A = this chain, B = another copy of it.
Amino acid sequence: MTEPIDFYFDFSSPYGYFMAEKIDALAAAHGRSVCWRPILLGAVYKVTGDVPLPLKPLKGDYSKRDFERSARFLGLSCRIPDVFPIGTQVAARAFYWLDDHDPVEARRFALAALRAYFVDGRDISQESAVLDIAAAQGADRAALAEALAGDAVRNRLKDECAQAIARGVFGSPFVIIDGEPFWGVDRIPQLERWLETGGF
């Protein structure tokens, strides 16, 4: 029971953002650590044939309402940005580069980027925004910019997405605890009971 909990999310997913605000404390309450894994829902949807939630007939309208109601229910701030959804390759690549150097800083960056997008409405699809947010968390801006221009972080993100899909990840957030998959921030109650009981 000492394996970290895997937490998959897309930087453009409101429900992923909500889980990001909750998962570390939730895991810590049960003596567990969390491995954060940003992915691209676009890569997942190529496999599943799915489309982004906001574009779905009927479900899209509902989801906007549900995003904001779920945020209030969870006690979180969230305003759906004017440009939504966005491409999150740059943010995800930056995360993995930071993670290889300093996992704590990478997590701080991820939370800051999610809040910048979902609370302050900043467009984190832009490299300049990603660099600013990372630098504010203490990252080396120039070194990160250089890394983002190279192939290594691109390939790394591709590999992470492929591995996630191979594990059955099809949405955001997606949490795997000791092999048990949980999709959606609305699975927090089940996830908590799973951690309390070691499976039910």
Which residues of A come within 8 Å of B, CB atoms?
Answer: 44, 47-50, 56-59, 61-62, 65-66, 69-70, 72-73, 165, 168-171, 181, 183-184, 186-187, 189-190, 193, 200
Other-chain contact of A183, B66, B169, B189 (Cβ < 8 Å)? B66
* Contact indicator A58/B168 (Cβ below 8 Å): yes
The CA of A129 and the CA of B193, in the complex, are separated in Å by 37
* Contact indicator B170/A73 (Cβ below 8 Å): no
* Contact indicator B170/A58 (Cβ below 8 Å): yes
Give the number of copies in the complex: 2
* Contact indicator B168/A61 (Cβ below 8 Å): yes
* Contact indicator B186/A187 (Cβ below 8 Å): yes
Given A186-B186, A189-B73, A200-B73: A170 touches B62 (CB 8 Å cut-off): yes
Interfacial chain B residues near A190, Cβ < 8 Å: 69-70, 73
* Contact indicator A165/B73 (Cβ below 8 Å): no
Residue of B nearest to A57 (CB): B48
